[in-house]
Amino acid sequence: MTGEVKSQSWSPRERVLAAVSHTEPDRTPRDFWAEKPTMSRIFSSLGNCDEEKLLEDLGIDIRHINAIEPQEREIAPGVFQNFCGERYVYKMTAWGKMREDIKGALASASTFAELESFPFPTPDCMDYSQLPMLCRRYERYALVYGFADVWQRPGLVRGWEEWFVDMVERPEWVHFLCRKFTDFYLEDYTRAAEVTKGRIDIYLLISDLGSQHGPLISTEMFRKFVAPYIAEMVQLIHSIGGKVLFHSCGAIYQFISELISLGVDIIDPIQPTSPEMSPENLKREFGGKVCFHGGIDMQNLLPKGSPQQVRQVARKYCEILGEGGGYILAPAHLFQPDVPPENIFAMYEVV
């Protein structure tokens, strides 16, 4: 494996914070995230299971840290439920099991009282004790915390189809669930900031708003059901000294200006679904207004392309979006297990 880059003048954390602030660092900063089966495939190719060495060799500038969540429980043969009410099954791949979501715990609710009586979690169920140690371990790196989802996760608990019907027929149900999850994550992020004494640099905020071909909801629905809760999270994250990394898959071009106006600092994963989502167009329209994170195609290029093709595209993104800062190199989703390890390594062989 090649691609290691060393710098005497910039620390990984300085590199990331410069890019987020639209200052061009010594090189484009890099992030890495992968599904567990993907990690198994990578380790098999390397002959070891040393994740930290892998990240160091690839020149990754960010480390992701989290509080410890309660264990999932099996509620029926092969059906699992996590602490917030999402339900899923596991499908096997050649490299391990992958989660596949099914209808959540509130999908069969027919009255508002059933929503009110659901045992929603509180941050008391989270274990934050390891976070100070992780901050010390990764002192040189930019730190990303959390997995806050204020619209899609409540939708998964409710059931995706039911959720879209609710937005039309029972909007008060949508607001009730979004309120519950927003309150949870406001407190979760507050506790994480307190226990780490403000050391966390970036907080993750997630809600998938796009399909392969366009938005999942209208701008009007976004402003009614999503934007108010994003705004609360952004305000809180900024007040505790963090930057906001907002993740949404799909063709979300029409929401980018909205997200910028809400105060989002970094947008991920800029999935290349259309000419509007190309690096050239994103830089032309939004350069200097928001930092981009991701973009390296997970659907065709990474699983099917050659290492040389991957290097060429990664270099293009770094040159276009990284000019003057404002870009973090990363895949357009978590690395999936169908991606050959040599293509993952090739992606980071860009100076």
**What phi, psi does 253 have (nearest 5°)?**
-50, -40
Question: What residues have CB less than 8 Å from 101, skipping those under 6 apart?
Answer: 86, 87, 88, 156, 160
**Cross-sheet strand order for the sheet of 87-93:** 73-76, 79-81, 87-93, 96-102
Instruction: Yes or no: say if 284 and 323 are a contact pair by the CB < 8 Å rule.
Output: no
Q: What is the mean pLDDT of residues 82-90?
A: 98
The proportion of the chain whose per-residue pLDDT surpasses 70, expressed as a percent, equals 97
350 pLDDT band (50/70/90 cuts)?
confident
Residues 165-210 have pLDDT tens digits of 999 999 999 999 999 999 999 999 999 999 999 999 999 999 999 9
Mean pLDDT, to the nearest integer, of 95-122?
Answer: 97
The pTM (predicted TM-score) of the whole model is 0.95
- pLDDT tens digits, one per residue of 106-117: 999 999 999 999
Whole-number average pLDDT of the chain: 96
**What is the band of 351 on the pLDDT scale with cuts at 50, 70, 90?**
low
Q: Give tens-digit pLDDT for 315-324.
A: 999 999 999 9
Confidence of residue 1 (pLDDT cuts 50, 70, 90): low
Q: What does the pLDDT look like over 287-303, one tens digit per residue?
A: 999 999 999 999 999 99
Looking at residue 344, what is its pLDDT? 98
Single-letter amino acid, residue 18: A
Checking if the pLDDT of 266 tops 80, the result is yes
Strand-pairing partners, residue 205, are: 148, 246
What integer pLDDT is reported at residue 4 of this predicted model? 46
CATH code for the part of the protein at 12-68+105-347: 3.20.20.210
Q: Where are the domains of the chain?
A: 12-68+105-347
pLDDT per residue over 135-162, tens digit each? 999 999 999 999 999 999 999 999 999 9
CA distance 247 to 266: 9
Which of 200, 206, 267, 204 is CA-nearest to residue 240? Answer: 200
Task: State the Cα–Cα distance between residues 11 and 13, nearest whole angstrom.
Answer: 5
